[in-house]
Structure 1
Amino acid sequence: MRQLFDSIPLGHSTLQNRLVMAPMTRSRAEFDGSPGALAAEYYAQRASVGLIVAEGTQPSEDGQGYLNTPGIYTDAHVAGWKKISAAVHEKGGRLFIQLMHAGRMSHPDNTPHHRQGVAPSAISPNTPMFTLNGMQDIPAPRALTTDEVRQTVADFRFAARRAIEAGADGVEIHGANAYLIQQFFAPSANTRTDPYGGSIENRARFAIEVATAIAEEIGAHRTAIRLSPGMALWGIDEGVEGPDLYRYLVAELDKLGLVYLHIMHQGDEALLADIRKRWKQTLILNRPGRPRDQIGDDVTAGLADLESYGQMILANPDFVARLKADAPLNEADRSTYFGGNAQGYTDYATWL
């Protein structure tokens, strides 16, 4: 575990350790998408990790899926994120904002324009979602036109520029967890016949275009991406070609020189090894449910350069100090994950 506490270069910065706070939706933003009043305190409390990846943040009105998630495309959004960036930097931390377009994982009641969600194809995820009116089935999305796909790439580019204006050290593209980019990967969600559907190359095209556009706009040294190969969630099925799609995609993304790749690992060790071979830059690995006694194993084994954690850091703002001292960890309160106030957000006790 000792290697976890070593500094490591990332882009034009140096991280104070190899621990990463994974992005976690907390649904505490204002209804207009501006970060909530306690967000700067929440993130600053956890700035002792090497890198904070902030919660999924929509790049456009169409990108919102859930209630009270933040955006990064208006002046008000930028003003709110400036407070967060400054608070994290004051504590010596580094902050990447995750750009998340929910795609079909959206309900009209949750968005500012109350329009139907958009996706690669008009295929429902067949799952309910929490709204202001309680749990409701997600309606079938509207399929993006080819021109609208290209406009969505431009929306990501614009949001990335706004994130840098807000003081973020970079952005992480959310290409995981059954949201828009992974929807393009999966034949169960993408039946397009234009250049964004069909072959592996076509289904990977949108992700590559988004990454290329953002790297051109803010620099590859500030552009990262998160993937979850093999994740089967909310109707996502990547099919038998799934592993080969990721082998192709990672190799193509590697050519862009992005600052890091963040993998949410689903258990295919052979694919993970292939990704490691294809990716020349920094690799962050997240293993959901990793027990405490395995923290640091992937860095020690050379499978990853950094390791990311979610719930443990959510519940332990002094996570790094607790690991160093082998101190007990707080348990996360699941009932306070989404929405609410300081309870379960900024009031977790520190060890010392």
Structure 2
Amino acid sequence: MTKLSQPLTFKRGLTIKNRVVMAPMTTCMSFFDGVVTKDERDYYALRSGEVGAVITAAANVQENGKTWEGQLGVYDDRFIPGLSQLAGAIKRNDTKAILQLFHGGRMTNSSVLRGEQPVSASAIPAERPGAETPRALTTEEVKTLIDSYKQAALRAIKAGFDGVEIHGANTYIIQQFFSPHSNKRNDEWGGGLEKRFKFINDLVDAVTEAVDNSGVSNFIIGYRFSPEEFETPGIRLADTLFLIDQLADKPLDYLHISINDYKRMSISSEYQDKTIIQYIFDQIKGRVPFIGVGDIRTKQQAEELLNSADLVALGRALLIDPHWTQKVFDGRDDLIRTEISEYDREELLIGNGTWAFMKNLMPDRLIKK
């Protein structure tokens, strides 16, 4: 037995059967109003049963958090029945279901929001073509947003999920509060590094307290983060090491990096001795399980990553081959599908939104003509 196939038990008592996790990936499969579809349930069911856990695509905690069409919603009780069906589709053969909690902040637009102006920590647009200037949230709106994450976690419990992941990565609203590029507030939620951490600190406290006071057992809470930003000023690895040091002492069950290459080096000149993931792993010092990710395609790469992580998240590998995990455990790496074409989409239950996402993000070598 390799470490990849070993179980892991989190602080709150949940045990997953192996160290392979399906990474959260955009699907664009929900109805226009955020309700789960049958296609969405089938897509996840096909990739469940072998991995230890599945982390869903981002689910909005507020209606104005929507960032693309076909996105999941969790901001109202009316979503609970559909989310319950989704959790049931994932929980095959003891695979655990984790709902990712999300708000897009300034990374959306008024078209997606049906005429409403996007919101953020401050009224600063993102550095991307066509970005709209968001409206800065008021102090009371910030408190309401934190409560929305808390209520979303409680809905995930009611829907039968095994945990939630707080999406603090990929330039969305939580990261916008932490970034010196997007947060220019002069109240309690802005300022220096520690003050910009306050939103994350209060949000994590609210969610963990709500879960722990709910009476649920074996329900975990994770946090996903991006290690660096390319904007100036922006988040640098030194900032993230501070963030990780704080979060590792929180009552979280895991930390999960968002990065496209597990061997990626920092853009900061002072952090060139190790990969970003190795710096993060060393900063955690075993205080909380760490999920690594980043274009893992082979058993060898997964096992290499486990030298600097406790679990391995797979994205593109499971899109191309939903049975990657069992083939690796059976020692049949030679049977793993390594590329995909337009003609494979029906078999793999990949919809138009996911296919567009794959074509934009996958190297040409993975997409057959």
Moved more, 89-98 or 164-173: 89-98
The alignment status of 1:256 with 2:250, answered yes or no, reads yes
- The equivalent residue for 1:5 is 5
Change (3 A) 1:36 1:200: same
User: Cα distance, 1:339 vs. partner?
Assistant: 5.3
Measured in 2, the distance between the counterparts of 1:297 and 1:55 equals: 26
Amino acid at match of 1:23: P
Matches within 5 A, 1:1-352: 2-10=2-10, 11-47=12-48, 48-111=50-113, 114-128=115-129, 137-219=130-212, 222-232=220-230, 235=231, 237-239=233-235, 242-265=236-259, 266-268=264-266, 269=274, 272-279=277-284, 280-287=287-294, 289-292=295-298, 293-299=300-306, 301=307, 303-324=308-329, 325-326=332-333, 327-332=335-340, 340=352
Q: How many residues align?
A: 329
SS at match of 1:216: helix
Q: Which runs of 5+ in 2 are unaligned?
A: 213-217, 267-273, 358-369
- The equivalent residue for 1:134 is none
Change (3 A) 1:43 1:284: same
User: Cα distance, 1:295 vs. partner?
Assistant: 2.1
SS at match of 1:161: helix
RMSD (Å), alpha carbons: 2.6
CA contact (8 A) 1:183 1:236 kept: no
CA contact (8 A) 1:286 1:307 kept: yes
- The percentage of aligned residue pairs carrying the same residue is 31
CA contact (8 A) 1:178 1:236 kept: no
CA contact (8 A) 1:21 1:309 kept: yes
CA contact (8 A) 1:119 1:141 kept: yes
Amino acid at match of 1:283: F
CA contact (8 A) 1:55 1:98 kept: yes
Change (3 A) 1:275 1:342: closer
CA contact (8 A) 2:26 2:354 kept: no
User: Cα distance, 1:100 vs. partner?
Assistant: 1.2
Measured in 1, the distance between the counterparts of 2:275 and 2:128 equals: 31
- 1:72-129 superposed Cα distances (whole Å, 9 cap, x missing partner): 1223311111001112224321011111111100112213x5311100111111435x
Change (3 A) 1:45 1:291: closer
Measured in 2, the distance between the counterparts of 1:310 and 1:189 equals: 28
Q: Which runs of 5+ in 1 are unaligned?
A: 129-136, 346-352
Amino acid at match of 2:152: A
TM-score normalised by the chain length of structure 2: 0.82
Change (3 A) 1:101 1:338: farther
SS at match of 1:56: strand
Amino acid at match of 1:140: T
Moved more, 265-274 or 159-168: 265-274
Amino acid at match of 1:177: N
- 1:229-264 superposed Cα distances (whole Å, 9 cap, x missing partner): 1143xx57525xx33322222222222220000012
- 1:9-35 superposed Cα distances (whole Å, 9 cap, x missing partner): 133222111011100011111111111
CA contact (8 A) 2:321 2:336 kept: no
Amino acid at match of 2:136: A
- The equivalent residue for 1:131 is none
Measured in 2, the distance between the counterparts of 1:277 and 1:321 equals: 30
Measured in 1, the distance between the counterparts of 2:232 and 2:112 equals: 22
CA contact (8 A) 1:312 1:332 kept: no
Measured in 1, the distance between the counterparts of 2:210 and 2:232 equals: 31
Amino acid at match of 2:248: D
Amino acid at match of 2:187: D
Amino acid at match of 1:25: T
Measured in 2, the distance between the counterparts of 1:284 and 1:52 equals: 13
CA contact (8 A) 2:181 2:232 kept: yes
Measured in 1, the distance between the counterparts of 2:77 and 2:187 equals: 35
User: Cα distance, 1:221 vs. partner?
Assistant: 5.4
Amino acid at match of 1:34: V
CA contact (8 A) 1:116 1:142 kept: yes
User: Cα distance, 1:50 vs. partner?
Assistant: 0.7
Measured in 2, the distance between the counterparts of 1:99 and 1:4 equals: 27
